[in-house]
Amino acid sequence: MTETKEQQEKVILVAVAAGDLGEARSSLEELELLAKTAGAQTAGYILQPLDAPVPATYLGSGKIKELKDLIDLTQADGIICDDELTPVQIRNLTEDLEVKVMDRTLLILDIFAFQASTAEGKVQVELAQEQYLASHLAGYGTSLSRLGGGIGTRGPGEKKLEMDRRAIRRRITSLKRELAQIERHRDLLREKRKRSERKTAAIVGYTNAGKSTLLNVLTNAGVLQEDKLFATLDPTTRVLELEQGQKMLLTDTVGFINKLPHQLVESFHSTLEEACSADYLIHVVDASSPEAEKQMQVVYETLDGLGVGTKRTLTIFNKTDQAENYASLRDPRAQETVYASLKKGEGVEEIRLALSKFLSEDQIRISRIFPYGRAGLVNRVREEGTLLSESYEEDGIHIEAFVSRELYGRLEK
Ligand SMILES: Nc1nc2c(ncn2[C@@H]2O[C@H](COP(=O)(O)OP(=O)(O)OP(=O)(O)O)[C@@H](O)[C@H]2O)c(=O)[nH]1
Ligand SMILES: [Mg+2]
């Protein structure tokens, strides 16, 4: 038997607006984009203004009737709620509606599962998925596995996710062990990088802002850049060569989103730590989004939650080619700001200048002759600084290099 192509799921998007109605609406729009990324088609929306979601059923009873009618009318296969549901809410809604009940967390996890490509990414995603299932099993029962494919049933590498509590727990233990091993390896790499005294910048930002595009424009990294949410999951580091031989390491990592599931933040902790250990932040903002301000706030809240301290920051307001009022956008946390269209290559020179400036504040250019008896010092410059040139002359080795302030201090002594 040949397998038939997985049918596109038809879903109704459901949200409770606890605060600002406009904000809830744009969150729902983002949910639609997420659903589309996961291969589902949106057949309708239900938005209910409430002080808080109803504990037992998420929506009020009147709205549930309305939702039922909409499901009948559109022949939808399921609903996706814009908040993480409790097991009780899932169970009650499934009983009432008799369709597949999903939430924002399940959906985002599903996208991550689909996009993960490296061993580390796959382990991280599966761990987050199993953690989510473990705490929501009472709600789903066997309904997810009974319903066959679609959102929530995909595992990395199409491995079927476990639906049995004991099996889930065993799997979580073994995934954690695997991840710890991978993390040790990553720590070693990072240590090595630190020792080389190369300054590093972490590219951070809301998903789809243009982070990978920036890395590609600056370093020809060839990273996948796509009009998709969470196109990048695995960090990529490349060397950026600036003027006068200055070098900096750039890391492109996973993007952030409003209501980023805590399960993902936990299992992606080591990936996200790249931002913690970097010397500088490059914050890419989609200036063409009407939600640009809110998205910046989400990024900083996520970084604060991760314990990323204040770092010198370059903020790039990107996609100015399709933005209207971008000139009024400001980032009070940034020391440098550039308005750019990375796709068109506009603003790239300013970005390079801003990064050079960061480096220059931390590095000093030296040009001096070291006596042959002091070869040890020359080695230090070679290992810890950026060597621009060296030549052997009568009275010693002539070195031109960039060195950190610390090293400069030691050389002076
Ligand atoms: N119009 C316009 N589109 C851009 C610009 N820069 C990037 N894009 C597009 O925006 C989309 C997302 O770009 P990416 O670089 O993949 O974004 P990202 O921040 O890495 O996204 P994730 O990895 O999914 O979090 C792609 O389709 C890019 O072509 C720009 O200056 N203008
Ligand atoms: Mg990317």
Comparing 154-168, 275-289, 296-310, 396-410, which segment has the lowest mean pLDDT? 154-168
- Residue 355, classed as helix, strand or coil, is helix
Share of the chain above pLDDT 90, in %: 57
- Mean pLDDT value across residues 294-302: 95
Phi-psi region of 319 (alpha: psi -120 to 50; beta: other; left: phi over 0): left
Cβ atoms of residues 180 and 269 within 8 Å: no
Question: Is residue 341 in contact with ligand 1, taking CB distance under 6 Å?
Answer: yes
pLDDT of residue 4: 41
- Mean pLDDT value across residues 198-222: 92
Comparing 65-79, 219-233, 251-265, which segment has the lowest mean pLDDT? 219-233
- Mean pLDDT value across residues 372-399: 87
Looking at the predicted structure, is the pLDDT value of residue 1 above 60?
no
- Mean pLDDT value across residues 275-300: 93
Contacts of 272 (CB under 8 A, 6+ apart): 253, 254, 265, 306
Q: For a pocket test of ligand 1, which of 343, 348, 350 has the largest count of ligand atoms closer than 8 A to its C-beta?
A: 343
pLDDT of residue 182: 87
> How confident is residue 158, by pLDDT bands cut at 50, 70 and 90?
low
User: Which sign, positive or negative, has the C-alpha torsion 205, 211, 214, 218?
Assistant: positive
pTM above 0.85, yes or no: yes
- Residue 78, classed as helix, strand or coil, is strand
Looking at the predicted structure, is the pLDDT value of residue 110 above 70?
yes
Looking at the predicted structure, is the pLDDT value of residue 112 above 60?
yes
Burial pattern 289-307, b for ≥16 Cβ within 10 A else e, equals bebbeebbebbbebbeeee
How far from 359 is each of 86, 199, 404, CA to CA, in Å? Answer: 48, 8, 9
Both tokens of residue 84? 């993480």
Domains (ranges, CATH) in the chain? 10-165 (3.40.50.11060), 197-360 (3.40.50.300), 362-412 (no CATH)
pLDDT of residue 161: 65
pLDDT of residue 115: 86
Both tokens of residue 1? 């038997």
Q: Which residues lie across from 21 on neighbouring strands?
A: none
Count of other CB atoms within 10 angstroms of residue 14? 28
Q: How far apart are CA 283 and CA 176, in angstroms?
A: 31
Q: For a pocket test of ligand 1, which of 204, 218, 225, 250 has the largest count of ligand atoms closer than 8 A to its C-beta?
A: 225
Looking at the predicted structure, is the pLDDT value of residue 143 above 70?
no
Looking at the predicted structure, is the pLDDT value of residue 153 above 80?
no
Cβ atoms of residues 57 and 96 within 8 Å: yes
Q: Which residue is associated with the tokens 């424009």?
A: 217
Looking at the predicted structure, is the pLDDT value of residue 194 above 70?
no
CA–centroid distance, residue 193 to ligand 1 (Å):
28
Strands (E), 253-385: 280-286, 312-318, 336-339, 363-370
